[in-house]
Amino acid sequence: MSGPGVASLVRALGVALLPVLLATACAGAGAPGVAGPSGAGMDGAGFERDVYALSVLDEHGEPYTHPFLGGLVVPRPQFVDLDGDGDPDLFLQERSGELMYFENTGTAEAPRFEWRTDRFGDLPVGEWFVFHDLTGDGRYELMSELPYSYIRVFRNEGTPEAPRFEPALDSIRDVDGRPIFSDRQNIPQLVDLDCSGTLDLLLGRIDGMITHYREEARVDGFPRFRKVTDRFENIEIIGQIGSMHGANAMAFIDWTGNGAQDLLWGDFFEPSVLLIANRQPCPGYDLDTPPEPLRTPEGNLLTSGHNVPVPVDLDGDGRTDLVVGVLGGAFNPVLTASNNLHHYRRGEDGLFRKMTERFLDGIDVGSESIVEVGDLTGNGLPDLVVGNKIDPVENRTARLYLFAGEATGPDGALAFRLADTLSLAPAFHYAPAMGDLFGSGRADLLLGTWNDGVRVYRNTGHAHSAAGPAAEPAAQLAADPAADPAAAFPGFEEVPGLTLDLTRGSHAVPALGDLTGNGLLDVVVGRSSGQLTLFRNVGTREEPAFERVTDEMGDINVGRRSAPYLADVTGDGLLDLLVGREEGGALLFRNVGTREAPEFEAVPEFEAVPGFELPLFDLGRPVPVDLTGDGRLEVVSGANTGGVLLFRDGGAGWSAGQGVGTGTGNKP
């Protein structure tokens, strides 16, 4: 997690950003702030995700273990020793159709999970996945949904060390060859209940009951099942106030230590994880017992509901720990939008101690994060400003999370620290953009919102005397989200009368840049329709005034939820347009006009450029900036999953020397 030295970073940033600052300071001079050789290549190898590029500290000063993971909202985990090295690896589904893989590079006693990929084997896993050795050959097969609601099977045709999963079955079938359906929102389970050497297939149903199939034959090595009952063991999960059970997940494990497979259950209407004890060891089984919520020393295990329980011994002590993916059910999922992968350790008293609510810890502000980069603390280092859709703590507004850039370690490596948070207006979906709008040399703030347009905030200057980074981490933030933001960052005050309203639609995402060559920062606003609105700055350096030019800028429409950013990524001195969108990825529109009269032509999606990829998550807004000080631009982005992603240039040729040209004018 080492970063570059500050000296080199400042050099790099200076090269990249000084022209922009100068351009802004010399408003009216017509300089767009970008200079450098033209023809930056877009034919390189594209951008590659780097989860661990820089160190990021949380509000307690502790480093995130996966700082740029991108956040989690609906994590569905499973631990499997896929590589056969004796410790469990972690697979996790966050997005439909994709499977994340974290290799355990630690030991059976001290696991260390490292992100490897967001799309394990590029396998289309639908809404769920389960690894199980279906064929009994000692290798795991992968079951997943084949939309809609079929149970597809992939077989490992590779080795444990180099798995290669290939489609094997389009559907698990019954003894008559008919496909067996499993509702796509539920995660099925396989277990040998009676120790007969044959498999039982259990399908949770939305009514709180379980359909039981039993293996009765094998075809090509794969089991065929016969349905036993739709009311397995007469189990019907009864909630606190009646029988009302929705999407669900379950797990079998000998929880009570009597040699029998007990059942753990979580569902939409259940705030806890329920244990249904199996009273009879093999060769029988008896789960006709009342469900009981799992308990902690503080009471029942409780979340926002729809919990995915995953038993696993993570520390090799012989006791089963529990990892719970909290998908969020009927108990306000917003509350768990950022803390939703819980780890419990079971004590000798049988109770569960919560070890963390962020088993894969990284920047995670809830959902629909949007990132801006700039030096707000005035220490010459970039800070990260991350907005969210709705604050997980105070649900009546969104919030900005301010990560201060600071030099750390003997080599002065850049790191970020969660130093403060800021709630500026009672609005949702904060989308920040920064630039010097009032000629003060400081970064002012545009704040896009869900349905209140774009608000303009003036930077009132540093509220404390220290010009450096925040002196103390805002350790109290989690408990007191209303902590004074001026303690670490400058204050902002809204400028009445400058709000930029959308003609129609919602989810305003602003970008700043001088598009008209008058030295003033214009505003491009993305919105829900996927189109862009252009506001021209017709004011002065000290008093901006915005005039709507068009709601269909360049006839650009990127689908849904356009999220623009202005930067010269082609090195021709003109601001190009990068646009994220709901469906993920980003589009690049090269500026083929002039500084005074730009025209934008659509460049195909990044992936359409040979060798070029920028695999943003859904709802990302790409911000090109050199954070690592290697002289090349990275791209940072938020995501629908609430975190921050960082992509390194794998050959696209976007060098800092060619100028990031964000147009924000706020960089050192």
Interface contacts to other proteins, rule CB under 8 A: 73-74, 76, 96, 127-128, 148-149, 178-179, 181, 183-186, 205-209, 229-231, 234-236, 238, 241-247, 268-269, 288, 290-291, 304, 327-334, 389, 395, 428, 450-451, 504-507, 528, 560-561
**Cβ(147)–Cβ(132) below 8 Å:** no
Residue 333: what are its φ and ψ, rounded to 5°?
-60, -20
**Cβ(190)–Cβ(132) below 8 Å:** yes
What is the dihedral sign for C-alpha 638, 640, 645, 650? Answer: negative
**Cβ(308)–Cβ(324) below 8 Å:** yes
**Closer to other proteins at the Cβ: 245 or 442?**
245
Helices (H), 172-290: none
Widest pairwise Cα distance in the chain = 86
**Closer to other proteins at the Cβ: 296 or 506?**
506
What is the CA 552 to chain-centroid distance, rounded?
30
In which order are the strands placed within the sheet that holds 150-156?
Answer: 129-132, 141-146, 150-156, 165-169
**Closer to other proteins at the Cβ: 243 or 300?**
243
What is the closest distance, in whole angstroms, from the C-beta atom of residue 207 to other proteins in the complex?
Answer: 4
Both structure tokens of 653: 């040729």
**Closer to other proteins at the Cβ: 270 or 613?**
270
What is the closest distance, in whole angstroms, from the C-beta atom of residue 504 to other proteins in the complex?
Answer: 7
**Closer to other proteins at the Cβ: 187 or 477?**
187
What is the closest distance, in whole angstroms, from the C-beta atom of residue 493 to other proteins in the complex?
Answer: 26
**Cβ(367)–Cβ(384) below 8 Å:** no
What is the CA 384 to chain-centroid distance, rounded?
16
Residue 316: what are its φ and ψ, rounded to 5°?
65, 25
Rounded Cα–Cα distance for residues 152 and 110 (Å)? 34
What is the closest distance, in whole angstroms, from the C-beta atom of residue 543 to other proteins in the complex?
Answer: 30
**Closer to other proteins at the Cβ: 76 or 132?**
76
Query: What is the residue type of 435?
Result: G
* Tokens 């767009």 -> residue: 32
**Closer to other proteins at the Cβ: 244 or 475?**
244
Closest CA relative to residue 33, chosen from 573, 571, 666, 606: 573
**Closer to other proteins at the Cβ: 107 or 229?**
229
What is the closest distance, in whole angstroms, from the C-beta atom of residue 628 to other proteins in the complex?
Answer: 33
**Closer to other proteins at the Cβ: 339 or 591?**
339
* Tokens 């396989």 -> residue: 190
Rounded Cα–Cα distance for residues 6 and 1 (Å)? 15
Instruction: Give strand pairing partners of 525.
Output: 510, 533
Rounded Cα–Cα distance for residues 667 and 434 (Å)? 10
Rounded Cα–Cα distance for residues 114 and 100 (Å)? 11
DSSP letters for 561-624: S-EEEEE--SSSSS-EEEEE-TTSSEEEEEE-S-SSS--EEEEPPGGGSTT----PPTT---EE
What is the closest distance, in whole angstroms, from the C-beta atom of residue 464 to other proteins in the complex?
Answer: 36
In which order are the strands placed within the sheet that holds 113-117?
Answer: 76-80, 89-93, 100-104, 113-117
**Closer to other proteins at the Cβ: 274 or 609?**
274
**Closer to other proteins at the Cβ: 59 or 368?**
368
What is the closest distance, in whole angstroms, from the C-beta atom of residue 368 to other proteins in the complex?
Answer: 10
What is the closest distance, in whole angstroms, from the C-beta atom of residue 170 to other proteins in the complex?
Answer: 9
What is the closest distance, in whole angstroms, from the C-beta atom of residue 307 to other proteins in the complex?
Answer: 12
What is the closest distance, in whole angstroms, from the C-beta atom of residue 6 to other proteins in the complex?
Answer: 41
What is the closest distance, in whole angstroms, from the C-beta atom of residue 512 to other proteins in the complex?
Answer: 24
